[in-house]
Amino acid sequence: MIQIQQFRFNPLGVNTWILFDEEGIGIVVDPAMHTSTEFEQFHKFIRDRNIQLKMVINTHGHFDHVPGVAGVVDKYHCHYLVHTAETGLLSVATRQAAVFGFNDFPDPPSPDRLLHDGEWIEEGKIRMQVKHIPGHSPGSIALYLPNPGVVISGDVLFKGSIGRTDLPGGDFDQLIRGIQTQLLILPGETRVLCGHGPETTIEAEKSGNPFLVESGDIDKKAD
């Protein structure tokens, strides 16, 4: 059985997710720890459960989602994965942080592996599919785990909202189209673990998210 632990880190309240199986094999998604207190909270959880971290994955490269990457990679010697279209954004993460008033966010390391849409990531009993959904950033991804029926959506989809599209590389129509074709096709009971804020379900967003329109309307806009 796959277990998932949520933490909320740094002043922007980023959700960091630790996934681990019954053998203790683990993956961390969006390690956003910034302070020594936050790092110790993270490390304590790993120690107490004897988790063997194998991978770090970023759903995207905006500065608030990456400050803990270097520390995790250095301490646990795990591989760092991002989508192939996100390397440019990673290279300016520190500069982007400074623009928003954060001058002590560290640079993320260079990725060890570049991800592509539709590929499967497997580590221990953890199995997830990469869903490339640009529009919030060029290489934004969601990670779908059929078992236990969750999708980690990063900043693509939120409860009652969607990711902002006014930053460089953003595209509103592209984001909506990607949500419709990549996420809303998932089973309605699928839990959506968001990059900020509370979780939701695919069915709840399909029926109640004001930013989402019917699939047919998206198809017409795409023509």
Domain CATH code at residue 198: 3.60.15.10
Q: Which amino acid is at 31?
A: P
Ramachandran angles phi, psi of 89, nearest 5°: -65, -40
Question: Confidence band (pLDDT; 50, 70, 90) for 217?
Answer: very low
Domain count, the chain: 1
For residue 123, is pLDDT > 90?
Answer: yes
Beta-carbon contacts of 164 under 8 Å, excluding residues fewer than 6 positions away, are 136, 155, 170
- Look over the chain and give the mean of its residue pLDDT values, rounded to a whole number: 94
Q: How confident is the model over 137-175, as pLDDT tens digits?
A: 999 999 999 999 999 999 999 999 999 999 889 999 999
Sign of the dihedral defined by the CA atoms of residues 184, 189, 193, 196, in that order? positive
State the Cα–Cα distance between residues 92 and 62, nearest whole angstrom: 9
More confident residue, 214 or 12: 12
- Retrieve residue 120's tokens: 């499967």
Whether residue 215 is predicted with pLDDT greater than 90 in this model: the reply is no
pLDDT at residue 116 in the model: 98
Query: Which tens digit of pLDDT belongs to each residue from 51-89?
Result: 999 999 999 999 999 999 999 999 999 999 999 999 999
Predicted model pTM: 0.94
- According to the model, what pLDDT value does residue 45 have? 98
* Contact criterion met (CB below 8 Å) for 82 and 114: yes
Please list, residue by residue across 53-69, b when 16 or more beta carbons sit within 10 angstroms of its beta carbon and e when fewer do: bbbbbbbbbbbbbbbbb
| Mean pLDDT across 190-219 | 86
The answer, yes or no, to whether residue 42 has pLDDT greater than 80, is: yes
* Residue 77 CB coordination number (10 Å): 9
Does the pLDDT value for residue 26 go beyond 80? yes
The Cα–Cα gap between 210 and 223 comes to 23
* Per-residue confidence (pLDDT) for residue 107, from 0 to 100: 86
| Paired strand residues for 123 | 126
Mean local confidence (pLDDT), 96-107: 88
Average of per-residue pLDDT across 16-27: 98
Whole-number pLDDT of residue 214? 53
Is residue 134 packed enough to be buried (19+ CB in 10 Å), middle (13-18) or exposed (0-12)?
buried
Residues of the domain holding 39? 3-222
Predicted pLDDT of residue 213: 67
Does 17 have pLDDT greater than 50?
yes
Closest CA to 154 of 172, 141, 139, 144: 141
3-state helix, strand, coil in the chain (%, to 5): 30, 30, 40
Q: Which amino acid is at 120?
A: W
CA–CA separation, 143 vs 151, rounded Å? 5
